[in-house]
Structure 1
Amino acid sequence: MENKSHALAAGIFVIAVAALLAGLGMWLTRDQTDYQLYELSSKDSVSGLQPQAAVRYKGVAVGKVTHIGFDPQVAGNVLIRIAVNADAPISPTTFATLGYQGVTGLAHVQLDDAEAPLPAPPPGASGLPRLPLHSSSFSQLAEQGPAILGQVQEATQRINTLLGDENQQRFSTALKQLGDAAGSIDQLARRLDNTVTTRLDPALAGVPPLVQDTQQTLQALRQAGSSAATAANDVSQAIRTLQAEGGALDEIAAGAKSLAGAADRFGRVTLPRINHAADETARAARRLGRTASGINDNPQSLIYGPGRSAAGPGEPGFTAPAAQQ
């Protein structure tokens, strides 16, 4: 009976010690971090993602995956619940993607920020906020795999068509024509070399004298240009002298002004007097002409005077001549 009591006490002691060790381990490993829960809904496969998988914000661990299941609101979507450190800079531009670690196939949730705020998905049945989940590069590659394979198959078919027997014959013909063209180019090069040696070299020998003549011509042109510049300077000096105050132009202007005044006085005073003298001379000449005509018709008028002329028709003493029978 005493042995049973000792065994029972030992068992109770072991159980108590084990419980104390378990409690101590849980207390030492407890997580005191303040987490904020978010949900992600994805239509893509989440293979490789497990509960307790890491959640990283731009590569820095900020949380863990707490639950993976199906979205009750969208049939066929996978619902992922994550716990993110409350100190993580989650903003309206934050979105999530699935990242993969090397060749192990293990996935984790990668958080990043877009350039502009993103429309927030509506909360789920749990009431937790949701973050946009974008397709990962691996998912995009898997989606585009069939299209890539189709393009590869089409390219392979085109290559096979390009390398067919008919095209190979054409390639052979083209290569032969290229060889013939290379031979023709070689012959042409030899002819050009012969032409340069026999004709172009003598012509090039005459280039130095031509260059010397050209240099002499340029020297003459420079001298002519210097002379023209000197003449232009002289002309400019003469123009400045003429335009100077009290110079020849001012004297010419003063003389022209005096000449204009003399012409004005001649037109206003002298010319009317000359016209009046000319009129008087003309009247005197007409009188002298009438006097000369009268002397010519009646010379005795110089001695007896002009006398009295016979009365004309309508004048007193006029007598009509008698009619001849």
Structure 2
Amino acid sequence: MESEAKYAVVGLVVVLLTLAVIAAILWLSDDGLSKDADEYVVYFEKQSLSGLQVDGWVTMRGIKVGSVESVAISKDNIEQLEVILSLDATTPVKTDSKAVIRRNLLTGLAWVDLTESTQEAQLLKTIDRKSPLGLPIIPEGQTELEAIADSIPRLIEEIGQVAQRANTFLSEDNRESVTNTLKNIEAFSNTLAKNDKAITELVSNLSEMSVELSKLSKSWTTVGNSAENDLNKVTAEVELTLKDLRDAINRVDDEVVVIAKALRNTADVFAAEATTISKSIDEAARSIARVADQFEDPKGAIFGPNRNTLGPGESRLR
């Protein structure tokens, strides 16, 4: 009875271990991805797929985002290798994303890496860029080693151009010119060495001259400042004089206006008086004329005018 209980426990443990192994296999086969996945296709033409296997990793910025579903030669173009990728639905594959092959140098195993994605680009699955399989196409990119390899021919060509220019520069005529130039430099150096004392004296004289020029400059600065101050004083005095002159002119203008007004008033008074005097003279003249007329006719002056005498403004009837 006791042995049967042990067998039951052993059997239960075996069953549990079997279920755990099956669950682990299922989890590993799922690659840790969610059940929602998007498929993309890459057509590799320049890069070798050596070491790339089905279920191999697909990474983006060092993080696993999917796996390789299949690897095959394209039916439409045998120069291209068709690789179908299964990526997590949340993977931000953009229109500027590129696919490159990375390799582990120790194991030789390869995987697909998605590079060059930017935040501003649109999601690839939102645009109409489909393959004959109906899947979005991720363009093939270029690895750093390939970029270096592509730059080597240009580098070699540039090195050749530099070598050609060097050969041209070092031609027979140029070598002779360079030799003469070096000789002239050597002769000039010897001349400088021979006249070292004179050059030292010249430098000393230049230094003293610099000091004197500095003193002279300071003197001129002082003179300039003094002249500027004097000029400012003269300018201020001239401005004050001009102001006084303007005030005097304004006062004269005011006096002239007052005098002119007084003259106009006096002229008006004289004119009125002259008019009055003229009227008085006129009336006096008329009175004198009447008196004279009376002296010419004494009878009329005593007894009055004759009836036949016409009065002022009268005329005889015809």
TM-score by structure 2 length? 0.58
**What letter matches 2:187 in structure 1?**
D
Deviations 1:215-255 (A, max 9, x none): 35753552353143133124224424644xxx322222454
**Partner SS for 1:113:** coil
Q: Secondary structure at the match of 2:97?
A: strand
**C-alpha root-mean-square deviation of aligned residues, in Å?**
4.5
Change (3 A) 1:219 1:58: same
Counterpart for residue 56 of structure 1: 59
Tell me: CA distance 1:72–1:207, structure 2 relative to 1, closer, same or farther (3 Å).
closer
Return the offset for 1:158.
4.1
Task: Please point out which of 117, 131, 144 is paired with 2:138.
Answer: 131
* 1:120/1:131 contact within 8 Å kept: no
Aligned partners of 1:164 and 1:138: how far apart in 2? 39
1:16-65 per-position Cα deviation (integer Å, ceiling 9, x unaligned)? 98x94763552453426222211011221224450233212233221122
Q: Is the 8 A contact 2:97 2:117 kept in 1?
A: yes
User: SS in structure 2 opposite 1:108?
Assistant: strand
Mean alpha-carbon deviation: is it higher for 160-169 or for 147-156?
A: 160-169
The alpha-carbon distance between structure 1 residues 156 and 53, as it changes in their structure 2 partners (threshold 3 A), is farther
| CA–CA distance in structure 2, aligned partners of residues 199 and 24 of structure 1 | 96
Q: TM-score, normalised by structure 1?
A: 0.57
Give the corresponding residue for 1:86: 89
Report 1:72-83 matches (<5 A).
72-83=75-86
Q: 1:108–1:248: structure 2 CA closer, same or farther, 3 Å change rule?
A: farther
Alpha-carbon distance change, 59 to 222 in structure 1, aligned in 2, over 3 angstroms? same
- 2:131 & 2:217 partners in 1: Cα distance? 94
Distance 1:202 1:137, change over 3 A: closer
Which secondary structure state, in structure 1, belongs to the residue aligned with residue 240 of structure 2? helix
Give, in angstroms, the shift of residue 85 of structure 1.
1.0
Change beyond 3 A, Cα 1:131–1:166: same
Matched to 1:26, the amino acid is I
Distance in 2 (CA, whole Å) between partners of 1:74 and 1:209 is 89
Residue among 92, 108, 114 paired with 2:111: 108
Q: Percent identity between the aligned chains?
A: 18
Is 1:96–1:109's contact at 8 Å kept on the other side of the alignment? no
Distance 1:262 1:196, change over 3 A: farther
Q: Which amino acid aligns with 1:141?
A: I
Deviation at 1:155, TM superposition (A): 3.2
Q: How is 1:273-288 mapped onto 2 (pairs within 5 angstroms)?
A: none
Deviations 1:63-109, CA, capped at 9 Å, x for gaps: 12222221112231111111111121234x24223153575565432
Cα separation, partners in 2 of 1:228 and 1:176, compared to 1, 3 Å:
same
Kindly report which structure 2 residues correspond to 1:2-21, keeping only aligned pairs within 5 A, or say none. Answer: 20=18
What secondary structure does 2:92 align onto?
A: coil
Partner amino acid, structure 2, of 1:123? S
Structure 1 residues 44 and 218: CA distance shift in structure 2, 3 A? closer
Tell me what 1:122 maps to.
130
Figure out how many residues of one structure are paired with residues of the other and give that number. 247
Q: Out of 148, 161, 175, which is 2:182 matched to?
A: 175
Q: Which runs of 5+ in 2 are unaligned?
A: 1-10, 268-318
Distance 1:198 1:83, change over 3 A: closer
Give 2:46's aligned residue. 44
Report the CA distance shift for 1:202/1:76 in structure 2 as closer, same or farther (over 3 A): closer
CA shift for structure 1 position 205: 6.2
Cα distance in structure 2, aligned partners of 1:67 and 1:109: 12
Does 2:22 match 1:23? yes
Q: 1:158 to 1:204 in 2, by over 3 A?
A: closer
Classify the secondary structure of the residue corresponding to 2:41. strand
- Structure number, greater radius of gyration: 1
Give the deviation of 1:178 after TM superposition: 1.7
The residue identity in structure 2 corresponding to 1:149 is: I
Q: Which runs of 5+ in 1 are unaligned?
A: 1-12, 264-325
Tell me, in whole angstroms, the C-alpha distance in 2 between the residues paired with 1:233 and 1:257: 32
Q: Which amino acid aligns with 2:162?
A: A
Give the counterpart letter for 1:231 in structure 2.
V
Q: Is the 8 A contact 2:49 2:101 kept in 1?
A: no
